[in-house]
């Protein structure tokens, strides 16, 4: 007899990567604690699959979806979109730990340059 049991938590490597992304958002001056309040490293919030903007596979427990649109709180009315100081230089290596990621929404974040471990992608 074979039993398949769903994973109710998330993988530590993926949880760490999510917290690193939150730190990246904070380093930009955005209020990441307000934007991502459930993303905390404490025993009560140990399952990152229950965090907002995160979707996990119900069987494997791996993160499969990240909805990270507008995490910069950028106000297009007050600034020029093309001002280099208003844009992110995003390193894709932040997302490398997500082995089963199928959907990544980074819209409305004004990303001007994307790198992957030092290699310029865009």
> What percentage of the chain reaches a pLDDT higher than 70?
75
Mean pLDDT, the chain, rounded, equals 80
pLDDT tens per residue, range 58-71: 999 999 999 999 88
Total number of domains in the chain? 1
Q: Is residue 23 part of a domain?
A: yes
- How confident is residue 118, by pLDDT bands cut at 50, 70 and 90? low
Task: Report how far residue 80's alpha carbon sits from residue 82's, in angstroms, rounded to the nearest whole number.
Answer: 5
Does residue 92 fall inside a structural domain? yes
pTM here is 0.79
Distance CA 97, CA 50 (A): 18
Lowest model confidence (mean pLDDT) among 26-35, 88-97, 102-111 = 26-35
pLDDT greater at residue 70 or residue 77: 70
Task: Indicate whether 105 belongs to any domain.
Answer: yes
Which DSSP category does 111 fall into? E
Domain assignment of residue 62, yes or no: yes
Q: What is the extent of the structural domain holding 94? A: 12-120
The answer as to whether 30 is a domain residue is: yes
CA distance 26 to 86: 14
Q: Is residue 1 part of a domain?
A: no
Does some domain include residue 3? Answer: no
């Amino acid at each position: 007899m074979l039993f398949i049991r769903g994973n109710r938590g998330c993988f530590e490597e993926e949880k760490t990567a999510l917290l690193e992304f939150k730190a990246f958002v904070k380093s930009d001056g955005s209020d990441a604690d307000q934007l991502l309040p459930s993303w905390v490293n404490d025993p009560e919030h140990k399952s990152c699959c229950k965090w907002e903007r995160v979707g996990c596979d119900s069987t494997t427990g791996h993160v499969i979806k990240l909805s990270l649109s507008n995490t910069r709180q950028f106000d297009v009315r007050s600034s020029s979109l093309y001002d280099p100081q208003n844009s992110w230089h995003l390193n894709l290596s932040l997302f490398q730990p997500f082995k089963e990621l199928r959907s990544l929404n980074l819209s409305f974040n004004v990303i001007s340059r994307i790198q992957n471990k030092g290699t310029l992608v865009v």
